[in-house]
Amino acid sequence: MPRPPRLLGKSSPLPVSPDQALLDRVANPHSDTDYLARFACPEFTCLCPITGQPDFAHFVIDYVPGKWLVESKSLKLYLASFRNHGAFHEDCTVAIGKRLMKTIVPKWLRIGGYWYPRGGIPIDVFWQKGKLPAGVWVPDQGVAPYRGRG
């Protein structure tokens, strides 16, 4: 019997750090069917580990579930826990992907981190793991390349 979600339906304070954040999973009611689930987080924030200045990103997380789904409230709080966390763009993006893989063990997962410019240079970070099942439709992540004011 899977454990019930620990945060759902309860008042939940913002976790102090990603390491302390709970990431819950729930049983996939359609584990016999391959399909894509997508989460978009257009207002992700963290801190530069050197300057302490805020960094901003738009994340798109696509996954093909196996036995588990990520519980969305816990994902929201986990992502928000980066708000006061200092880490480089690459570290945040890959760490989120790896934590999701460990928690829900999907058949396939990809994360696109579309970071807003720092020092005039936008940095986009992409990570994926697993094998995409044949026949699963994976739409474009829909985030336009950074164009500035032009």
- Reported as a single tens digit per residue, the pLDDT across 68-127 is 999 999 999 999 999 999 999 999 999 999 999 999 999 999 999 999 998 888 899 999
Residue 86: inside a domain, yes or no?
yes
41 is catalytic: no
Whether residue 97 is contained in a domain is answered as yes
Percentage with pLDDT > 70 across the chain: 97
Residue 7 lies in a domain: no
If one compares 77 and 144, the residue with the highest pLDDT of the two is: 77
Q: Can you give the pTM of this predicted structure? A: 0.92
20 part of a folded domain: no
In a domain, 26, yes or no: no
Domains: count for the chain: 1
* pLDDT, position 150: 59
**Residue 77 falls inside a structural domain:** yes
Q: For residues 26 and 13, which has the higher predicted lDDT (pLDDT)?
A: 26
Q: What is the pLDDT of residue 149?
A: 62
Pair 44, 59: CB distance under 8 Å: yes
Q: Is there a domain that residue 110 lies in?
A: yes
pLDDT at 5 > cutoff 70:
yes
Q: How confident is the model at residue 1 (pLDDT cuts 50, 70, 90)?
A: low
Domain range for residue 39?
A: 35-130
In the DSSP assignment, the letter for residue 82 is G
Please confirm, yes or no, whether 24 is among the known catalytic residues: no
Of 79, 89, 77, the closest CA to residue 42 belongs to 79
**Looking at 48, 92, 124, 140, which residue is catalytic?**
48
Pairing type for strands 108-115 and 124-130 reads antiparallel
Residue 112, domain CATH = 3.30.1130.10
Write down the catalytic residue from 55, 62, 91, 92: 55
In a domain, 69, yes or no: yes
Mean pLDDT of the chain: 93
Output 128 or 144, whichever has higher pLDDT. 128
pLDDT of residue 4: 73
DSSP 113: E
- For CA atoms 117, 58, 92, 133, the dihedral sign is negative
SS3 19: coil
